[in-house]
Amino acid sequence: MSNRFLFLWLLLVSQVAWAQGRVVTELEHNWKFKKGRNEQAYQVNFNDKGWQTVTVPHDWAIYGPFDKEIDKQVVAIEQNGEKVPSEKTGRTGALPYIGEAWYRNQFTLPHYKRGQKVLIVFEGAMSEPRVYLNGQKVGEWAYGYNYFYFDITSQVLEGQKNTLAVQLQNQGLSSRWYPGAGLYRKVQIVVKNPESIDQWGTYITTPFISAEQAKVNIKTKATGGNIRLVTQILDARGKTVAADSTGQRFGKEFEQNIAVAQPQLWSPETPYLYTAVTRLYVGNELKDEVSTRFGIREISYKPNVGFSLNGKVRKFKGVCLHHDLGPLGAAVNKAALRRQLRILKDMGCDAIRSAHNMPSMEQLELADEMGFLFLAESFDEWAKPKVQNGYNRFFEEYAEKDIVNLVHATRNHPSIVMWSSGNEVPDQWGAEGVKRAKWLQDIFHREDPTRPVTVGMDQVKATMASGFGALLDVPGLNYRVHLYEEAYQAFPQGFILGSETASTVSSRGIYKFPVEKAIEKQYPDLQSSSYDLEYCSWSNLPDDDFVLQDDKPWVIGEFVWTGFDYLGEPTPYDDKWPSRSSYFGINDLAGLPKDRFYLYRSRWNKQDETLHLLPHWNWEGREGQTTPVFVYTSYDSAELFVNGKSMGIQKKHAATPQNRYRLMWMDVKYEPGTVKVVAYGKDGKPAATREIKTAGKPHRLVLQPDRTQISADGKDISFVTVSVVDKNGNPCPTATDQLKFTVKGKGAYRAACNGDPTSLEQFHLPTMKLFSGKLVVLVQSTDQVGDLELTVKGKGLQTAKVNLTSVN
């Protein structure tokens, strides 16, 4: 059929009523929640009137309180090289995620007619969910990070209320970080005709690309007899650029090859997205319709060349991200995810590794839209345990099913350029581990032949000896910078990926003396120094990775541990209380940049200049003492001044990795006043300046929202950074004032976070102390349009207010 006649036919059949196609309903509101064992909670007539009413996505544990006794573990962490067990009190965040809980929801499906098919889709449930509908069990799943669905056609009621109940069970000793708890991702009901496209049944690839045209291959699995498939490809403006119609199936699968002329290619710099609209017909009657966003892009991994995107060699400038969103916990929120990605984009980051679990749909959607390459990870454990009640309990029964769901649900995202089948699994040792690695990689290849598979390996010597590392598509090294050369020689792939790098630790705005490299350094205040010279026994400093990335063409990039601090795993204080969140982040738990942000930005962000000065200059009691000054900058040289007196010019040089990437004045003596840095361009002339002044007493508060306009959808959030300044407007970097928050109008106070990994203040209460002079307040919209106002107060400080607007 020619395109002209096909378009005419599409216009004619598009008049068919939408009600004949699928309807997707998100179950968001009116959930009833109760923690604890309830043997009859799945029954239709069970009385849940005393239960808490919540909105899903929901994380029951994030509301705390923090408690040292929660999930207290006496273990030796093998990944950290520990031999002797010790008490770990904050390893899983010290939040009450352990135990059984129930969710119930009553819903009607006015569009549902008997004879249609109904699915219930969960995008994540923590954990071991058992699902009941109208008193009948419809299914169960094991892995809390995976997407899954059940056919509930035989249990659903037409024209009546349906009672859905979900039982969740989180065991202790089941995680190495804060896993969250509850229905923390979307729940949806899909109603469709018997003649329909299968769930996750569309698979789009772009096997041929040139400047003139791209071949878009679309495989579609569908059910029903006498069916015909029509596909339109729309550009980013919604204009049809290509179309195809076919009635030919091979088994259950249609296959279409559609030419797109002058394709716009997807990349982190130009994240151009097309949409395939697939319609299923019986005769001229529309039976189903599915829209799938995709990108036209080409990836390759070649020996001694590395990774190429659209024919251009590039290296991953990536970070690892855990799934929690700081003060929001594990409950997925698109505004919070978008803010994270904006911060990372400004740093020059172009890649994300979902560590160590399957990513949310929202995160992948944003990665597609905003331009991030994505390494989608699956498991932290295989058959051999790291923690007693971890995924090892489910591996044999569920691993293949979990991978199939991961691939089928996410494979159309152009951002995903690599799969990971595991992270630092103990199975790296021995022949059984090699077999498991091959088995898992073969499953990924079977379900998606277009992307390679990696494993984050920390036992590099063992994987060299066993053949484990040699069989992987992409050998991923977690740390072990001293073994890169040996691994490159031993492995046949011709390249190495830094699948996890650095693990440098720091606390935002905290500086320790003397300034020196330190491993596993601990201080009485349970903080780590933001001079960025402290790291773990098994890790290294950022500069060590920079050298490998810059000097070795066969090193194809890195994923830094981590882009943001996360709840749990408070190394190097995991044996100290009250540490309850990580120190690894380039940004803190509130999303505020640490100094290290600018070290990475100075190297990664090629569009904008970077000039950052540290430490702060409020050191009462250190007068005359040595207080080194560091500058992180994209310029090669700079001059430092203290109260107008030059401390000399420093230039980057290769004497040490630190000298190569940082400018450091190690002998500066502290005196109150002004520290100023002047950066010089390649022409030797001053190009940029930055200065820090000694601040006086805290005087007033300053509020800076990331957005003043948010959507009236009950989900959107404005993140308001609160800082304190003296009477001259200078930031007060050591302020710890207790603040109180009030929101009026068409919005609500949601949470606050100050980034202090030792704070036991609960995020959802409307009060919190400043940490290093700052914190962030989260203001959430309602479903009503209008104005809202955040007021922040502190004793002895001028009150501050900011006005926001909630719009459709």
Which residues are tagged catalytic?
Answer: 424, 500
d(CA 324, CA 337): 10
Q: Are 528 and 572 in contact (CB under 8 A)?
A: yes
Helix 395-410 vs helix 361-370: angle between axes, to the nearest 10 degrees? Answer: 40
Strands 253-261 and 249-250: what pairing?
Answer: antiparallel
With 0-12 / 13-18 / 19 or more C-beta atoms within 10 angstroms meaning exposed / middle / buried, residue 17 is exposed
The phi, psi pair for 103, rounded to 5°, reads -120, 140
CB 667 within 8 A of CB 633: no
Q: Using a CB cutoff of 8 Å and minimum separation of 24, what contacts does 797-801 make?
A: 797/698, 797/699, 797/700, 797/701, 797/724, 797/737, 798/699, 798/700, 798/701, 799/701, 800/700, 800/701, 800/702, 800/703, 800/722, 801/703
Both tokens of 33, joined, read: 């929640």
Query: Quick one: which H or E segment has residue 690?
Result: strand 686-693
Cβ–Cβ under 8 Å, residues 531 and 628: yes
Collapsed DSSP state (helix, strand, coil) of residue 309: strand
Q: And the tokens for 448? A: 């998606």
557, 548, 570: which is closest to 660 by C-alpha?
548
Q: How far is CA 717 from CA 62, 265, 328, 713, in A?
A: 17, 32, 11, 10
Ramachandran angles phi, psi of 623, nearest 5°: -55, 130
Which residues neighbour 243 within 8 Å (Cβ) at sequence distance 6 or greater? 3, 6, 7, 10, 230, 231, 232, 233, 258
Helices (H) and strands (E) in the chain, counts: 11, 49
Distance in angstroms (rounded) separating the CA atoms of residues 719 and 509: 20
Q: Is the CB of residue 275 less than 8 Å from the CB of residue 234?
A: yes
Please list, in sequence order, all residues whose beta carbon lies within 8 angstroms of the beta carbon of residue 49, skipping any fewer than 6 positions away.
none
Return the structure tokens found at 517.
């490299």
Between CA 626 and CA 635, with CA 632 as vertex, the angle to 5 degrees is: 120
Write the DSSP assignment of 449-486 as a string of letters.
Answer: TTS-EEEEES-HHHHHHHSHHHHSSEEEEES-GGGHHH
Beta bridge partners of 707: none
Count of Cβ atoms closer than 10 Å to residue 214 Cβ = 24
Amino acid at 226: N
